[in-house]
Amino acid sequence: MSIITKGGDKGETSLFSGERIAKTDARVEAYGSLDELGSLIGLAKQYLEDKADAALLTEIQRDLHKIMGELASLKKLPAELLDEAAVEELAGHIHKMEANVRLEGFVIPGSCKSSAWMDLCRSVARRAERRVLSLAEIAPIRESLLKYLNRLSDLFFILARKIENEKGIITHK
């Protein structure tokens, strides 16, 4: 079976739940932005030295797939949904990293390659969150999903600072 279906040749795509919608629909923009973030995370992982950090990012990629599945559904939701426990787990990772990083004012991104990739993930995560919030203005989105996406950019920020802190190279404004 070929990946070429020709189903999208006229600007429409199929949702997970089977409906056809325009590729320019806010729903497609939302899960498409998360797809972009997931790919960027995959690239960023290649620059991480800490295997535990890379494993955390792989788990985040799995979470993003759950979110994309939910956003790509109008009627039928995927079996696994992110809940408040996932939000709290993400917050726990943030707090653990924060405990070892001292921040003093604004930080200039890009002190090293690996932290620069984390900062790019942070900005793309924020854009993806905005796309999902735009969708939430016209369609119901679960609160725990919105909270998770809000925490996600915080995680990328503090992970970038953790990396810089470990190398002794945080650059402040």
CATH of the domain at 49: 1.20.1200.10
- Radius of gyration, alpha carbons of the chain: 17
> pLDDT digits over 46-82, tens only?
999 999 999 999 999 999 999 999 999 888 676 678 8
Is residue 97, in this structure, part of any structural domain at all? yes
Is residue 42, in this structure, part of any structural domain at all? yes
Alpha-carbon gap, residue 118 to 40, rounded angstroms: 9
- DSSP symbol at 13: E
Pick from 44, 35, 56, 69: nearest CA to 151: 56
Is residue 83, in this structure, part of any structural domain at all? yes
Pick from 153, 139, 154: nearest CA to 70: 139
Q: How far is CA 139 from CA 6, 24, 129, in A?
A: 28, 15, 15
**Residue 1 scores a pLDDT above 80:** no
Is residue 109, in this structure, part of any structural domain at all? yes
Is residue 7, in this structure, part of any structural domain at all? no
Residue 142's domain comprises 12-167
Q: How many domains does the chain have?
A: 1
Is residue 112, in this structure, part of any structural domain at all? yes
> pLDDT digits over 72-122, tens only?
988 867 667 889 999 999 999 999 999 999 888 888 898 999 999 999 999
> Which residues does residue 150 pair with via DSSP β-bridges, in sequence order?
none
> Which residues does residue 20 pair with via DSSP β-bridges, in sequence order?
14
Is residue 29, in this structure, part of any structural domain at all? yes
**Residue 172 scores a pLDDT above 90:** no
